[in-house]
Homo-oligomer: A and B are copies of this chain.
Amino acid sequence: MKKALMLISFLFCLVSLQAQQKTIAERLGYPKNTKLLILHADDVGVSHSVNAATITAIEKGCVNSASIMVPCPWFNEIATYAREHAQVDFGLHITLTSEWNNYKWGPVTPSPQTPTLINKQGFLYSTVDSVKQFASTPQVEEEIRSQVRRAIQFGINPTHLDAHMFAVVRKLDFLKAYIKVGREFKIPVFLAREMERELNIKLDTLTSKNELIVDSIVSITPEMMHSNPADYYAQTLRSLPVGLTYFIIHTAYDNEEMRSVTKGFIDWGSAWRQTEFDFFSSAECGKLLKENNIQLVTWREIRDKLYR
Q: Work out how many copies of this chain go into the complex.
A: 2
Task: Name A103's contact: one of B49, B77, B154 (CB within 8 Å).
Answer: B77
Residues of B near A112 (CB, < 8 A) are: 110, 112
Most chain B beta-carbon neighbours within 10 Å: one of A48, A110, A121: A48
Residues of B near A48 (CB, < 8 A) are: 103, 256-257, 260-261
Task: Name A73's contact: one of B103, B255, B256 (CB within 8 Å).
Answer: B103
Tell me if A102 counts as interface (CB < 8 A to partner B): yes
Question: Given A112-B112, A255-B255, A256-B257, do A104 and B76 touch, yes or no (CB 8 Å)?
Answer: yes
Interface residues of A in 231-278 (CB under 8 A from B): 253, 255-257, 260-261
Extra 13 A-B pairs, beta carbons < 8 Å, given A76-B102, A110-B111: A48-B260, A48-B261, A73-B105, A74-B102, A76-B103, A76-B104, A77-B102, A77-B103, A80-B102, A110-B110, A121-B153, A255-B256, A257-B257
Residues of A within 8 A of B (CB): 48-49, 52, 73-74, 76-77, 80, 102-105, 110-112, 121, 123, 153-154, 253, 255-257, 260-261
Query: Which 9 residue pairs spanning A and B have beta carbons closest together?
Result: A73-B73, A77-B102, A257-B257, A48-B260, A110-B110, A76-B104, A110-B112, A110-B111, A48-B257
